[in-house]
Amino acid sequence: MIWSDGFTDMGAAVLLTIDVSNTQTVLGVYEGAVLRQHWRLQTHSGRTADEYGVLVGNLLAGAGSPAIDGIAVASSVPPMTQVIETLCRTYIGVTPMFVGPGIRTGMPILYDKPQEVSADRIVNAIAAYERTHDATIIVDCSTATIFDYVSEKGEYVGGVIAPGLGIASDALFERAAKLYRVELVKPKHVIGRNTVHAIQSGLVYGYVSLVDGLVTRIQKENQVGARVIATGGFAPLLAPESETIEEVDEFLTLDGLRLIYERNAQE
Amino acid sequence: MLLAIDVGNTHAVFGLYEGDALRHHWRLETDRGRTVDEYGVLLRNLFSGVGSPVIDGITVSSVVPPATQVIDGWCRMYLGVAPLIVGPGVRTGMPILYDDPQQVGSDRVVNAIAAYERTHDSTIVVDCGTATKLEYVTRKGEYAGGVIAPGLGIASDALFERAARLYRVELVRPKHVLGRNTVHAIQSGLVHGYASLVDGLVARMQKEIGMKARVIATGGFAALLAPESESIEEVDEFLTLDGLRLVYARNSGQ
């Protein structure tokens, strides 16, 4: 097999970016600034480095990827860190760079305890600010629904953490005796006249309302009409109904990892 | 006295009415494994604390089928009264404009009845319990459908169980919307997030029906969310019990 798009940017560094989240782990291969390939794996902290090694090695080989020059990782799941570290050294032969304390991000963190902000949130903030160079709110619609605010000057100011759409709907079906799992689609009307439509409305319009309401409240508190970029698995479902989301970028975190890697490689 | 029992997924609430006045109320965990005799001992104790009143009638709304059987058995064995269980066949006085009227949970209809009795106008009821349920009653007093979203409590439990680095926080309103530490960020997401969910759904329902309906909230989280909500006009913790009292009166034929 050949590298699917060919070597259009011959000589550019090949970077593997890994975003480890609570539910899924996303991998992306960049040649220079271009995302060439991406994959999504289940995050399962019981899985060993050898198991992930077989998976990742196969995916890279299957796509005909050139040799990896560098690896950048953001992990919000501490037990996965060691697994990823071993996988990278043993199966790819590269020592990974983990975003965390000691890594230069180029973004001041105005959090009470800067080390408390998880890596993916900083990475998202960096990728978003690189595009807007303006006050920006990032909405990550994943296991949790996480909002991060970057000031006009490019400082990470703080955020909001709400339950994610997927885990909240799972909880509804597990805990409410008479309710059952429904397909996650937008119903025709807000007011449901049967239980399936009522739940679909509550999940889709309810979560859109949660996002729009929190964005509006953050904008009001900071007296700015900040730009709004969304990412995460549920962003494409919610964005068309949202009045605040301007743009969806599925690969925002991977892009931020690339930027941080470049900023640290320059040294 | 009338005993009104509202069995929800998390709690069962018991209220004793003398005429239309709620005299006493108690809240028990909805434990599906609890037996008739356990309810017997618990409630005999609670009732004796208020002078063991004579109970002439009982009305029940339950969204937990296994618990319904147990409550029914307890009413008959320990109080000698057959309860009126709200469901198909029980006269509510409210037309149900649902695709399949039997599918609407009895708590939703009972809330709608209690709210309309107060407003006699188009009304949205917001029940902030295990689920967050919104019901729409037309100006003419018809139940016209609703919305069901995950409740604040179960959604926050899910967050702490499923996100590796997050932990349980006290459920209070933080000073700012934007958190500068994880505790404040989560408190904001729960309180401001859920107030936004309720406000947004109410606004969309009002837009769809083309008018500004009255908004009454009930349920365990209503008191927490109402001060942050722009749409909730009134909170009534005992709306469901009150609706049960009304349904009982309509069925006893007086």
| Per-residue model confidence as pLDDT tens digits over A201-249 | 999 999 999 999 999 999 999 998 999 999 999 999 999 999 999 999 9
Q: Is residue A27 part of a domain?
A: yes
- Report residue A3's pLDDT band, with 50, 70 and 90 as the boundaries: low
Residues A91 and A126 in one domain: no
Query: How near does any CA of chain B get to the CA of A232, in Å?
Result: 15
Element housing A200 (H / E) = helix A195-222
Query: How near does any CA of chain B get to the CA of A134, in Å?
Result: 18
The pTM score is 0.90
Residues A135 and A58 in one domain: no
Residues A142 and A68 in one domain: no
Residues A228 and A169 in one domain: yes
Q: Taking the CA of residue A192 as centre, how many other CA atoms within 13 Å lie in the half-sphere pointing to its CB?
A: 26
CA B198, CA B251: separation in Å to the nearest integer? 33
Pairing of strands A24-31, A97-98: unpaired
Residues A227 and A148 in one domain: yes
Is the minimum CB–CB distance between B81 and chain A shorter than 8 Å?
no
CB contacts of B165 in chain A (<8 Å) are: 76-78, 118
Q: Is residue A9 part of a domain?
A: no
Average pLDDT for chain A: 92
Kindly state the tokens that stand for A56.
């990742």
CB contacts of B134 in chain A (<8 Å) are: 202
Amino acid (one-letter) located at A84 = I
Q: Domain tally for chain A?
A: 2
Cα separation values, B79 from B22, B69, B71, Å: 19, 15, 11
Q: Is the pLDDT of residue B39 over 60?
A: yes
Query: How near does any CA of chain B get to the CA of A116, in Å?
Result: 7
Is the minimum CB–CB distance between B183 and chain A shorter than 8 Å?
no
Residues A119 and A84 in one domain: no
Does A143 contact B163 at a Cβ distance shorter than 8 Å?
yes
pLDDT digits (tens, 9 = 90+) for A163-198: 999 999 999 998 887 788 889 999 999 999 999 999
Q: Is the pLDDT of residue B204 over 80?
A: yes
Is the minimum CB–CB distance between B177 and chain A shorter than 8 Å?
yes
Q: Which residue has the tokens 């992990």?
A: A75
Residues A213 and A242 in one domain: yes
- By Cβ distance, the residue of A112, A189, A195 closest to B180 is A112
Average pLDDT over residues B123-141: 97
pLDDT value for A1: 35
Residues A141 and A219 in one domain: yes
Average pLDDT over residues B75-90: 94
Q: Is residue A24 part of a domain?
A: yes
Identify the structural domains of chain B with CATH numbers, from first to last. Answer: 2-85 (3.30.420.40), 101-244 (3.30.420.40)
Q: Is residue A31 part of a domain?
A: yes
Q: Is the pLDDT of residue A107 over 50?
A: yes
**Domain residue limits at A170:** 114-256
Q: Which residue has the tokens 């690339």?
A: A258
- Specify whether the CB–CB gap between A184 and A169 falls below 8 A: yes
By three-state DSSP, how is residue B50 classified? coil
Q: Is residue A261 part of a domain?
A: no
Residues A249 and A120 in one domain: yes
Does A199 contact B148 at a Cβ distance shorter than 8 Å?
yes
Average pLDDT over residues A53-67: 92
Residues A119 and A93 in one domain: no
Does B201 contact A110 at a Cβ distance shorter than 8 Å?
no
Q: Is residue A108 part of a domain?
A: no
Is the minimum CB–CB distance between B186 and chain A shorter than 8 Å?
yes
- By Cβ distance, the residue of A112, A162, A167 closest to B190 is A162
Residues A35 and A130 in one domain: no
Q: Which residue has the tokens 């990470």?
A: A156
- Using alpha carbons, select from B171, B177, B172 the residue that is nearest to residue B196: B177
- Specify whether the CB–CB gap between B167 and B160 falls below 8 A: yes
Q: Is residue A6 part of a domain?
A: no
Is the minimum CB–CB distance between B175 and chain A shorter than 8 Å?
no
Residues A46 and A147 in one domain: no
Q: Is residue A33 part of a domain?
A: yes
CA A162, CA B187: separation in Å to the nearest integer? 8
Cα separation values, B103 from B68, B90, B122, B141, Å: 16, 14, 22, 19
Here the CATH number for the domain that contains residue A77 is: 3.30.420.40
Binding-face residues of A in 82-141 toward B, CB within 8 A? 110-113, 116, 118
